[in-house]
């Protein structure tokens, strides 16, 4: 345990831009500790199961789409090249997730200002950029703190081809520092995708920030909402009507900001 903590400390010390996150985590260990909401996954999975839809039915309800073509069929050559780039990565990171939900949401909204938290290989980034490339002046801002002690820094976003990066700004900071910077850069946003700090506290800090920046009619999409009750609690706070989409054993939550707000 002590050795692991020392390794974590050394990892942070080698990355000065992440010192604020180190301090935040250290203070949390001393003064906050675990909360009961961290053990609420069983309760939340039950809540998700009661209302979850598969991707085709979810997109039909969300945007009226009746036929979902996988991105690997829409962009076969580009997708295969991306798979090859991932295969050359020496660090194991998160999977592709529900890229169809992200791409078709951006297409429906005709999004030009998108923000996401959490990048890993960059599959979600690629899904957004495939949509944004068709709209002049569009921009994706992504925030990502590298995996602790994994040294994956050089590989973050590795599946994104070079020609798409002109529409992409990557902020290599933790949420508490990177997310305010990203929102300031974009101003009002059309679509946001949350896939970073999965703790209850992390979500309940970030969701309101994203919601405030989101334009009326825009989408807030959050990955892995079955981990704890944060998404449910936030939906109740904003009196939203959440949509839950299940892919394999994971749940994504979507809230549409009312046009009157």
Domain boundaries, the chain: 1-33, 40-256
- Model confidence pLDDT, tens digit, residues 63-97: 999 899 999 999 999 999 999 999 988 878 777 88
What are the residue ranges of helices labelled H in 187-229?
Answer: 200-213
Output the pLDDT for position 34.
46
Whether 30 shows a pLDDT value over 70: the answer reads no
Provide the CATH topology of domain 40-256: Rossmann fold (3.40.50)
Residue 215: burial class (beta carbons within 10 Å; 0-12, 13-18, 19+): middle
Q: Is the pLDDT of residue 36 over 50?
A: no
Length of the chain: 261
Q: Which residue has the tokens 């800090």?
A: 205
Is the predicted pLDDT of residue 5 greater than 80, yes or no?
no
What is d(CA 225, CA 203) in angstroms, rounded to the nearest whole number? 10
Look at 63-72, 139-148, 206-215, 251-260 and tell me which has the smallest mean pLDDT.
139-148
- Predicted local confidence at residue 148, as pLDDT: 61
Q: How far is CA 242 from CA 67, 219, 222, in A?
A: 22, 11, 11
Token reading at 53 = 């839809």
Element (H, E) at 113: strand 113-117
């Amino acid at each position: 345990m002590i050795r692991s903590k020392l390794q974590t400390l050394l990892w942070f010390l080698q990355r000065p831009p992440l010192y604020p996150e180190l301090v935040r985590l250290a203070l949390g260990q001393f003064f906050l500790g675990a909360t009961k909401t961290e053990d609420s996954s069983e309760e939340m999975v039950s809540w998700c199961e009661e209302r979850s839809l598969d991707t085709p039915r979810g997109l039909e309800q969300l945007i009226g789409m009746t036929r979902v073509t996988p991105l690997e069929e829409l962009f076969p050559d580009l997708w295969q090249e991306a798979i090859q780039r991932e295969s050359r990565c020496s660090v194991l990171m998160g999977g592709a997730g529900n890229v169809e939900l992200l791409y078709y949401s951006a297409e429906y909204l005709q999004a030009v200002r998108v923000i996401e938290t959490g990048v890993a290989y960059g599959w979600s980034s690629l899904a957004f950029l495939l949509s944004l490339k068709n709209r002049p002046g569009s921009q994706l801002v992504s925030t990502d703190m590298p995996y602790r002690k994994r040294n994956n820094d050089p590989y973050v976003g590795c599946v994104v081809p070079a020609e798409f990066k002109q529409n992409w700004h990557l902020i290599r900071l933790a949420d508490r520092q990177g997310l305010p910077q990203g929102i300031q850069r974009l101003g009002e946003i059309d679509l946001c995708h949350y896939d970073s700090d999965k703790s209850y506290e992390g979500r309940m800090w970030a969701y309101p920030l994203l919601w405030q920046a989101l334009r009326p009619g825009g989408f807030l999409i959050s990955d892995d909402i079955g981990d704890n009750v944060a998404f449910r609690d936030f939906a109740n706070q904003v009196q939203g009507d959440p949509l839950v989409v299940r892919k394999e054993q994971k749940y994504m939550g979507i809230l549409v900001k009312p046009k009157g707000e």
